[in-house]
Chain A
């Protein structure tokens, strides 16, 4: 039979005829009492020994009791000094002298307060007067010795020792082991020790020793040290999810400059140069030279659309239009600048319908910073280019997209954008609260936008702030904790991974 080393030791130390306490076994085996107890119970479970329990009242010396037992009680020391000092005519000794002689130090008070009670003499007026009593026959000293030996002194003396905090009385469970018949048989047949190991080591594996070892039990319920891996930023995660969704719907991703001319940002979008949005959005104008290179034919067509409109019945804006404004470089206020670049054919060549394109990229608006508005945020931009698109196609595309994020029951509020007609603000039901919330802006690009770009078919487009989608999905109420240098690392670390 193979047993863990400790169990083998306990088994061998146990007797079939005599109860042996854990302490005795511990002493015999050199194992810690708790190890012995653990092994004993395991052996009992295996039926090899029997564990019995009894409750013992025991008395033990306190630290102070130990000191007096090993040295001497303070009052005895005092008595010896007093007997030495007294004599002749003078029956008493000055307390100071007696204390100094007995080297009691800070135990002097203990000695004095027990002196008379112990019948060694009297203390009065600063003088110790000893009776002729043998200091060697002190009964408290004898009682301490008895306790130290494991005997029990009389009740009165025990009470006295307890009052003086020289002993503590306590009850404890004493467990004893006895070999069972099976245990005896096992021993006779031979028991070998199997090693218990804490860690599985490369040596154990390569030497095959793992086959002969027992693994010590761990407390598998205990907390482990906290561990933090890295995590992709949750706004990036959300962006990735949007990108995956759109790629799955057949959209290709666009890329382009953050700093761009107003021509690509606004003029191509048929935003009149004096439109409140071009001042009120307060895009960030950059202190760099005007954009040098803008395709001349495109510039002319865009200018003409602004001033004279597009088509036989079209008319332009009654607003000034200058090339100087168009060439100014801003941080883009929307990624529709990318759509313009792609639709114009100047980014990746002329496009043939059908096409679907998207981007999830940063835009910049001079807004007031608050829990839901940042100066920089991500815009989801998407468009579909095809012959003969209707607003029903636009609605169907959005229903499909938003359903991927749990937003259903879309409603379409007719809206105005300078660059789309018809235009719609998109509303949907909040997945948690059920409230009707605004979730995007959309429309069919105007002919004044498309024709100058050289696009002859229909293009429907929409835009949405990624942060809005994030806040809907995660329920955040302050975007500043997430995006930017004021972010809270704990929030980023502890946010649930959505999938």
Chain B
């Protein structure tokens, strides 16, 4: 979940609430869904929240939410914007994979160190969340005064061009570098370039933005050094590129609102696609209809219309009530920095936060149902209880395992016709070599536990009732899942008989008819292994574990073991 670092002094200043202590802020923020996680070294509050309200990814946004909650601000706020002077021309050469661009001009910013840090944090957090690590949307912020716009239109407007560039085409000096590089050089040898190279290195042409002087931005990878923003910057050019227009427009809005809160003025830009002209940022206000009854039903409380409107307004929304007989509905206006409102219910959630969910009285629902266990889990428990009664320690092991543990160390091979020899269900991109597949049987897990507990007292009689799986094209999931019962008796005088007597007792408990005709299985000693045949069906194997397998597991005493399908005891 996103974490935003917020300077409490900045928060006091931006909310206008000098009297609020850090503790008071923490309480108020908890009610809004921002959880205090800790403090940074320089005393900033680390706040964690769900990735819905991305407008809160900066101290300015957090302060705005608090001012609404306190009732200092009400209703939808939309900043005034100046008419466009700059145009972003989208050239035909723009890579098809990243066709969209948007932007804004910001004038009259006053960036001290804190404000600049906050802006950089906001940019990074937006990249990490909505921007999907820059794949879906990437932000570049530039010092406008360092740009030289190409003349555009009749009235002296300026323009930059979003276009494609050959990887080895034009050269520029990227941020954090001191020499000119081609885009390909950047991907190859610049640290930031290396990080983001996977986003573009398959493209024939790379995305780039040019002004009159040449390439100044290489989205989504890095900006040019020429237009780098500093605390001296007073006018900014914000550009965003990506794979979805709506997404980058909303990211742009979040940035514009944060800078507006610092007293800057937002100026529109024109985006000139070959077949369409947009004016951005898009501060259009959405509307949704919410029924009063639904609010009351969801919160479980009665509300006056005035109360409901107040709660909407303290959520930064406007609500226009309309009565139709007994029924009241609200036309709710939603500000353009909101990225999370997909349905009227999302607005009811806002009303609940403003009301204070923790002020609601919990009530046990007056709904009567009959409970019960699933027969599979009841059966599993019963078998487990029997095993424990026979003296087995009940175990619970992982379903994921490695090929080495599942097959090699047990002396069997995948895809062979023995118990445990099923075809593996493998994990596509395993992170750990210890967990690369689903276990085809449970005995390897028991032997691993024995191996890890040789320093513990014997006898060690272990059993597990759990999941095993093998690849099976006949299944809808491609995976045949089954429950398996495994038992191992490890003691200095363990013999086949020890395993057989316990297995027989277990079968007896479940009125199952057991036979053990001789078989061969590489995990067990020849002549001391048998098929487990229950009610006439071969369902498993039993025997004395082969010394080769014991030694492989560093065991210095004999182990007799069995494993069979749980459903045989049904």
A and B part of one assembly: yes
Q: Identify the A interface with B (CB < 8 A).
A: 226, 228-233, 235-236, 240, 243, 246-255, 257-261, 274, 276, 282, 284-289, 291-293, 309-319, 329, 331, 354-356, 362, 364, 366, 369, 374-376, 384, 386, 388-393, 395-400, 410-417, 421-425, 444, 446-448, 483-490, 492-493
**A232-B384, A276-B51 are contacts. A286–B365 as well, Cβ < 8 Å?**
no
Q: Do residues A274 and B365 form an inter-chain contact, with CB atoms below 8 A? A: no
A-B contact pairs, 24 of them (CB 8 A): A226-B457, A230-B393, A231-B394, A284-B427, A288-B479, A309-B342, A318-B244, A375-B432, A386-B367, A390-B297, A390-B298, A391-B300, A392-B360, A395-B360, A397-B364, A400-B364, A412-B357, A414-B31, A416-B49, A416-B53, A444-B298, A446-B345, A483-B398, A487-B395
Cross-interface CB contact of A393 among B358, B363, B369, cutoff 8 Å:
B363
Chain A residue at smallest Cβ distance from B370: A250
Contact with A along B208-246 (1 / 0, CB 8 A): 000000000000000000000000000000000000101
The yes or no answer to B390 lying at the interface (CB within 8 A) is yes
Q: B residues within 8 A CB of A228?
A: 393, 457
In the complex, given contacts A390-B299, A393-B363, what are 20 additional A-B residue pairs having Cβ atoms less than 8 angstroms apart? A229-B388, A233-B396, A243-B373, A251-B371, A259-B469, A259-B479, A284-B430, A286-B478, A310-B343, A331-B427, A355-B369, A364-B400, A392-B301, A393-B364, A400-B364, A444-B298, A485-B449, A485-B452, A488-B453, A492-B393
**B132 and A276: CB pair below 8 A?**
yes
**Chain B 227-277 residues near chain A, CB threshold 8 A:** 244, 246-247
A230 touches B391 (CB 8 A): yes
Check if B74 is an interface residue, CB within 8 A of chain A. no
Question: Is B368 part of the contact surface with A, judged by Cβ < 8 Å?
Answer: yes
Q: What's the count of A-B pairs with C-beta under 8 Å?
A: 276
Specify which of B289, B342, B428, B471 lies most central, judged by the most chain A CB atoms within 10 Å of its CB.
B342
Across the interface, name the chain B residue whose C-beta is closest to A250. B369
Q: Do A309 and B343 touch across chains, with their CB atoms under 8 A apart?
A: yes
A485 CB contact (under 8 Å) in B297, B364, B376, B398? B398
Known contacts A231-B388, A250-B368, A318-B247; decide if A416 and B342 are in contact (CB<8 Å): no
User: Which residues of B approach A to under 8 Å, CB–CB?
Assistant: 30-33, 35, 49-53, 129, 132, 136, 244, 246-247, 288-289, 297-301, 340, 342-346, 348-349, 352-353, 357-358, 360-365, 367-374, 376-377, 381, 384-385, 387-400, 425-432, 435, 438, 445, 448-449, 452-453, 456-457, 460-461, 463, 467, 469, 471, 473, 476-479, 481
Q: Contact between B49 and A316 (Cβ–Cβ < 8 Å)?
A: no
A328 to B282 Cα, complex, angstroms: 37
| A257 and B288 in contact, given A313-B343, A421-B346 (Cβ under 8 angstroms) | no
Q: Roughly how many angstroms separate A446 CA and B129 CA in the complex, as a whole number?
A: 21
Contact assessment for B50 and A417 in the assembled complex, using a CB-CB cutoff below 8 Å: yes
Complex Cα gap A279–B346 (Å): 25
In the bound assembly, the distance between CA atoms of A493 and B479 in angstroms comes to: 35
Across the interface, do A314 and B343 meet the contact criterion of CB distance under 8 Å? yes
On whether the beta carbons of A247 and B244 are closer than 8 Å, the reply is no
Give the distance to chain A from B266, nearest Cβ to Cβ, in Å.
Answer: 22
Which residue on B lies nearest to A235, using beta carbons?
Answer: B396
With A286-B427, A356-B369, A422-B298 known as contacts, the answer to whether A259 contacts B477 (CB < 8 A) is yes
State the 9 A-B residue pairs at the shortest beta-carbon distance, nearest first. Answer: A416-B50, A390-B300, A288-B478, A395-B362, A392-B300, A414-B33, A416-B52, A485-B448, A247-B371
- A253, A261, A354, A384, most chain B CB atoms within 10 A: A253
Cβ-neighbour of B445 out of A226, A260, A319, A485 (below 8 A): A485
**How far, in angstroms, from A310 to B364 measured CA to CA in the complex?**
29
In Å, the complex CA distance between A155 and B371 comes to 95
Q: Say whether B400 contacts A412, CB under 8 Å.
A: no
Chain B residues near A235 (CB, 8 Å)? 396
- The reply to whether B479 and A329 contact each other, CB–CB distance below 8 Å, is yes
Give the Cβ gap from A366 to chain B, nearest Cβ, in Å.
6
Asked whether, in the complex, the Cβ of A284 is within 8 Å of the Cβ of B400, the reply is yes
Assembled-state Cα–Cα distance A412/B30 (Å): 9
Which residues from chain B contact A312 at a C-beta distance below 8 Å? 289
B79 to A: closest C-beta gap in Å = 23
CA gap between A251 and B370 in the complex, in Å: 7
